[in-house]
Homo-oligomer: A and B are copies of this chain.
Amino acid sequence: MPVTSSRPVCILGLGLIGGSLLRRLAGERPAFGYNRSTATVNAAVADGYDASSDLPQTLTRAAETDAVIVLATPVTVLGPIVDAVVEHAPDCLLTDVVSVKEQVARIVAHHHPDARYVGGHPMAGTAHSGWAATDPSLFENAMWMVTTHDDTEADDWLAVADIARAAGSYVVPAAEDAHDRAAAAISHNPHVTAAVTAAVGAGESRLPLRLAAGSFRDGTRVAGTAPELQRAMLEANSVALLNTLSETIDRLVAARDRLRDHGDVAALIEAGHRARTAYEEVAAGEVEPIVGVTIGDDGWAQELRRQAHLARVWVG
């Protein structure tokens, strides 16, 4: 099967991520979607998109057109969705846009042992959710992690990476566990610290909130995300999050003891500044492409992962 941008895409779940992807890909290639809620489907159809609340029918259509199926539902309802895929579209290539990769891979393997599955995770989002918040430019220049194992099929990997590229994103190849540790460090732990910063800040009266300026506003922004969405994301990655959360606590306890006993917060503030500076260098610098790899050649997956650890991305 040649990988071309005309390959259909079937998106299951039309919330912020799935809905934005449907908006982005429709017009460039056949793209259709399913959502359980008829209100969401009606809104999508009213906006001119091809959406249905009939899962078997949608999956049958995916099977007939050899569409790539994108799992875009909350992880909590993924099992029954994959069961339906087994029944109606067992041969279709599967990917997903759910945040935690080890858990999704386990669910897919459990419900669909023969699945052709290559995981994905676009690092994009807003504090809003649902079809009303969807935006076709959500993925523009975002990093889109694509699971890259030594036994990943090259054509399947290319088909999934091609979706990420078509959405405007760069492809970051990674193993599932490395992705989940990274996601805990730079996405899930920041949600925890935003929550605690907000909770501590809302003090004894409305005076503190009235005085709050940029540091509080930016530092607590993601605490505004719907709690159930945050919980689903964080609790699905609990092992990696426990590690980053414990490291966070250890560093804060050391800083508190140092401040109490010696009056300074130098070590923590300087470590934070170094880390932020490193981030700004990566974020502001040119996006460096992975070079010298032909997908499918001997050792291609290993070499992609190696270069990704240097902050390089696959651009095709």
Residues of A within 8 A of B (CB): 123-126, 142-143, 145, 172, 174, 178-179, 181-183, 185-187, 189-227, 230-231, 234-235, 238, 241-242, 244-249, 251-253, 255-256, 259-260, 263-266, 268-280, 282-283, 308-311, 313
Contact A190/B211 with A200-B185, A255-B196 known, Cβ cut-off 8 Å: no
Contact present for A201 and B190 (CB under 8 Å) = yes
9 extra interchain contacts, Cβ-Cβ under 8 A, other than A198-B279, A219-B219, A223-B273?
A: A142-B213, A182-B203, A224-B277, A230-B265, A230-B269, A238-B259, A241-B259, A245-B256, A249-B249
How many Å lie between the Cα of A185 and that of B221 in the bound state? 16
Contact in complex: A210, B269 (CB < 8 Å): no
Number of copies: 2
Within 8 Å CB of A201, what residues of B? 185-186, 189-190, 275, 279
Interface of A is mostly: helix
Query: Closest B-chain residue to A280, C-beta based?
Result: B224
Closest 4 CB pairs of A and B: A195-B272, A202-B275, A206-B311, A198-B275
Cα distance, A67 to B172, chains bound together (Å): 60
Q: Which of A218, A269, A270 has the most CB of B within 10 A?
A: A269
On whether the beta carbons of A279 and B202 are closer than 8 Å, the reply is yes
Residues of chain B contacted by A308 (CB below 8 angstroms): 207, 210
The reply to whether A223 and B272 contact each other, CB–CB distance below 8 Å, is: yes
Q: A209-B282, A255-B245 are in contact. Are A268 and B196 (CB under 8 A)?
A: yes
List residues of chain B with CB within 8 A of the CB of A221: 214-215, 218-219, 276
